[in-house]
Chain A
């Protein structure tokens, strides 16, 4: 369940973004809420039963939660962290700010925001995908790009116009 071989662990390279490329923020928060409801720690099978989700669907979400520092997995037990508790007690807006701090530390996300900042102009989808391809290979670059836009929009650091396919940086609203 720990995504071994996927380069999990923050700060160990750009492919780190992977674990959250295929899951939504709602799923991760829902998982944290569900584990909290059963006392903050549970084995994977119990969680699967509790939330009525098969392991193959739950796995990537657990992986993402672990990657983001919201859960630890040890001997099959999943435990929520202090950071999770902070999220649980936060309102919708505060949650965004907390996730923003986490995402901002993800190297590949940083790569894009850095690129946009240095360029000082909107970046095209094409040039970002090119930059990503150089790091993660072209077949993963597309998914990664979508994920970066998704998370970037959620934390209000990225604006993307899917018609002109241009990405710009934005300042969070509050």
Chain B
């Protein structure tokens, strides 16, 4: 039985004028079902590069990323992504934006409609199905992004700084409600990987895993935190 995701000694270098710039060095960690893992670090430390490699959008210089034991592919429908910038289509309604991922997956129209409704409701957006992104607050836009990611019923959900373009209060509310949402084990995904620069988003009670070797020049505070089982996490944060 393979872990859901294996990040195996991933190193990423860029070369300029024959000189090597190491962005990531020997990053190594696993993600199992029900894990909620955060990649934490200040901006510029390579978090987003790591995430791009993990979802198969970029190749490591050395090392590998395995999903269910196989090399990750960018078109893997079991992996969904939530973006910092929401990445919604302004000319599509909430419903249409959420259905997009399902359309790409080849889900028939009726099923698409049903699944989109289900996840729009789960993120608290029932009532806004016919609204366009411009009619939504920032927090609601990101809820659409989350509904769209969940609608494809992925095993792994990746989130790249999902709260950082929101004002602090909106971010707090969304964070709390999203964690509440994942207390329901019937909802996808099986595991969550979140990239964030804000240590408080991890509530700093995670167990640090997969630290990069001290030999590499790493910015202070960078690392990977396993926050715990997602269902238990929600209760702990609420309580």
Contacts and interface: CB of A to CB of B under 8 A. Distances in A.
Chains A and B are bound partners: yes
A92 B169 contact: no
B172 interface: yes
A92 B173 contact: no
A162 B127 contact: no
Q: Is the interface of B mostly helix, strand, loop or mixed?
A: helix
Contacts of B167: 27, 53, 57
A61 interface: yes
A91 B139 CA distance: 17
B127 A92 contact: no
B149 to A, nearest CB: 17
A166 to B, nearest CB: 11
B32 interface: no
Contact of B128 (A52, A153, A173): A153
B58 interface: no
B170 A24 contact: yes
Most buried by A among B140, B172, B177, B181: B172
B126 A156 contact: yes
Contact of B131 (A61, A162, A170): A162
Given A26-B139, A92-B177, A173 B126 contact: yes
A161 B137 CA distance: 17
B97 to A, nearest CB: 15
Interface residues of A, number: 34
Contacts of A27: 137, 139, 167, 169-170, 173
Interface in B125-175: 126-128, 130-132, 135, 137-140, 167-174
Q: Is the interface of A mostly helix, strand, loop or mixed?
A: helix
A62 to B, nearest CB: 10
Contacts of A33: 172-173, 176
Given A26-B174, A159-B130, A161-B130, A51 B169 contact: yes
A92 B135 contact: no
Contact of B137 (A26, A51, A52, A162): A26
A52 B164 CA distance: 13
7 contacts: A26-B173, A27-B139, A27-B170, A29-B173, A30-B173, A92-B123, A96-B124
Given A51-B172, A53-B169, 7 more contacts: A27-B173, A31-B169, A33-B172, A33-B176, A53-B167, A57-B167, A173-B126
Interface of B: 121-124, 126-128, 130-132, 135, 137-140, 167-174, 176-177, 180-181
User: Which 5 residue pairs are nearest across A and B when measured between Cβ atoms?
Assistant: A30-B169, A26-B139, A30-B173, A24-B137, A153-B127
